[in-house]
Amino acid sequence: MDNLRLYMVTWNVATRHPEEDLAEMLGFGTSGKHKVQERLPDIFAIGLQEVKSQPQNILMDAIFDDPWTNAYRDVLARWDYVKVKTIRLQGLLLSLFCLRKHLLHLRDIETQYTRTGLGGMWGNKGAVTIRLSIYGCSVCLVNCHLTPHDHLLQERIADYNNIIKSQLFRAKETSNIFFHDYVFWIGDMNFRLVDGYSAEEIDHLIRKGELMRLLDKDQLLQVMSSGEAFSELSEQLPTFPPTYKFEFHSSRYDLKRRPSWTDRILYKVNANVYENLTLQAEQVSYRSVEEYVQSDHKPVIGEFIIKVFSDYYERVVEFLPFELWYVDEENSASYTLSGDVQPTLWDWIGVFKVLDT
């Protein structure tokens, strides 16, 4: 089997437009080299919450890519990454980028979304999802923003269960989120610390580096353990300080709220679904990026190496040669399908620029 490197970002941007250089967040330092020197990530999955979603913003973003997607693409395009898919639900945004060399190995790309705000009537909270197959393995990426506030734990649990029940996909063997080979669930999950410490006491313990005392009171870890929510998933224990709530343009906590690990990255591997093969996801890093100060949240990064098939036979669509192609006119193209391709009404063709060699 071969390895693919995935780079995950989750960040609540607090309705701000891009103000800071995003290269460092994506692992590209001032030298221009990626911090993982031996290999660039194959895939970037970037999940944002609270993207500005006033009616005029949503209308413009329906016609053109939103400012955040453009800002991330401007960085990644320098390294030959191509945007594969973006899905948006009001302030929730999930974008998937991959190295150009992998484009022809992506299949069955689908999106889904779930509204959970106002009892499912409003999309200010909920989840957006992209699923796809890459080199024969199915991957599902979920970005969520769950109910806020310390005391609304049961609402967060209900949000999670609504999302996994409501999202269904056309791909037969992966119709449910957890039927996929790999699941990555990121977002502002809004889980807080159970009662016991004031905001000032939490800040004091953070300064002393006593994070384990705080994680013992983390709501997400508790509901995962009890089986109420997210128990299907795993998380590498955070070693970074709580990512919320900060004063804007500062790395000082705003103690009007109790600091919490609201921003998380979880994952699941269905390791033994193939005969004589074992799938695997190795988490390389899990960190927050404290240098970014334009939001009251810190971005969180997770890097993974997953196993995919090295000898997977791809279904082939081959275009016949073009004779003439007219600008600003309707054109047609002819193509042939390999014998194992069954055409459906949901088929689509992605067009991207081929670099000169």
Residue-wise pLDDT for 144-200, tens only, equals 999 999 999 999 999 999 999 999 999 888 999 999 999 999 999 999 999 999 999
Q: Do 10 and 263 touch, CB atoms closer than 8 A? A: yes
Cα dist. 155→189, 245, 267 in Å?
Answer: 11, 20, 22
Least confident of 13-27, 79-93, 114-128, 285-299: 114-128
Minimum mean pLDDT among 189-198, 285-294, 321-330: which range?
321-330
Report, as an integer, the average pLDDT of 203-227.
97
pLDDT of residue 344: 75
CA distance 110 to 170: 8
Contact status, residue 219 vs residue 189, Cβ threshold 8 Å: no
CATH topology of domain 2-308: Deoxyribonuclease I; Chain A (3.60.10)
Sheet holding 81-89, edge to edge: 81-89, 92-99, 43-49, 2-12, 300-308, 281-288
Does the pLDDT at position 356 exceed 60? no
What pLDDT does 35 receive? 63
- The reported pLDDT for the residue numbered 318 is 78
Nearest-angstrom CA–CA distance, 303 and 41? 9
pLDDT at 317: 73
Average pLDDT over residues 196-220: 97
Look at residue 313 in the predicted model and tell me its pLDDT. 65
Q: Which residue type sits at 196? A: G
Residue 224 has pLDDT above 80, yes or no: yes
- For residue 275, what pLDDT is reported? 87
Looking at the predicted structure, is the pLDDT value of residue 87 above 70?
A: yes
- Is the model's pLDDT at 345 over the cut of 80? no
pLDDT at 339 over 70: no
Share of the chain above pLDDT 90, in %: 74
- Asked if residues 293 and 250 have their Cβ atoms less than 8 Å apart, the reply is yes
Boundaries of every domain in the chain: 2-308
pLDDT at 347 over 80: no
> Taking all residues of the chain, what is their mean pLDDT, rounded to a whole number?
90
More confident residue, 351 or 231: 231
Contact 40, 34 (CB under 8 A): yes
Q: What is the pLDDT of residues 19-78, one digit of tens each?
A: 999 999 999 975 556 665 467 999 999 999 999 976 555 555 455 678 999 999 999 999
For residue 52, the 8-state DSSP code is -
**Is residue 355's pLDDT more than 90?**
no
Q: How far apart are CA 237 and CA 227, in angstroms?
A: 17
Residue 326 φ then ψ, to 5°: -100, 135
- The answer to which of 163-177, 247-261, 307-321 has the lowest mean pLDDT is 307-321
The whole-number pLDDT of residue 340 equals 67
Average pLDDT over residues 210-220: 97
